[in-house]
Amino acid sequence: MAIVLGTNVGFVATRPTVSPAAANGDATLSRWALKHTSPAGSNNLVELGWHVRYFDAADTFRMALYAHDAANDRPGALLALTAADIAVTSENWFYGAASYALAASTVYWMALLRANPSRSEVGWDDLTGARVAIDSVTSLSDPWGSSSEQYGDVGVALYARYEPADGGSLSIPVAMHHRRMQGVS
């Protein structure tokens, strides 16, 4: 499967499981960010993940969600981090829990920091409408700051999984629900 915004990269409702057919890879730059617009409605970020395209030895990573710095078209303020460092053990999808109340239809950046980039590779490919910021710094700084490289129409295998803010359940007040169960209106 190709890298497709909203399907296996960017904001997704379901965790990706199929390896993306990324044509390119990078094992030298440690910090990557992908720009994407959040879905409409009231949603919460629940997880951040990435696909390991090439694996050589144990590595760890951390992911973050950033606001959009519209003036410079790059990541801005740090909004959320994965709960802990995640160990990379193979060529596969890896993810960590993260929490943030997303604003509807808003531009965000999901970011990845690899502890040792020479041990694992990020897959990327041409992707119309996508934008990435990358560099070789060693932290997920707040704010992001400048990037050594930025590219338009390029996608990278990073995702942010979201869920409806209400958990997808109906919102019926408890007292009203109880009265309905007893046949009282």
The mean pLDDT of 168-173, rounded to a whole number, is 41
Q: What is the pLDDT of residues 108-134, one digit of tens each?
A: 999 998 877 777 777 778 888 888 888
Instruction: Tell me the pTM.
Output: 0.84
Q: Quote the pLDDT of residue 168.
A: 58
Residue 20: which pLDDT band, with cuts at 50, 70 and 90?
A: confident
Q: What pLDDT score does 31 carry?
A: 87
Q: What is the DSSP string of 96-147?
A: EEEEEEEPTT-EEEEEEEES-GGGEEEEEEEEEEEEEEEE--SS--SS----
Q: How far apart are the first and last CA of the chain?
A: 52
- Fold observed for domain 10-181: Jelly Rolls (2.60.120)
Closest CA to 24 of 158, 155, 174: 155
Q: How confident is the model at residue 37 (pLDDT cuts 50, 70, 90)?
A: very high
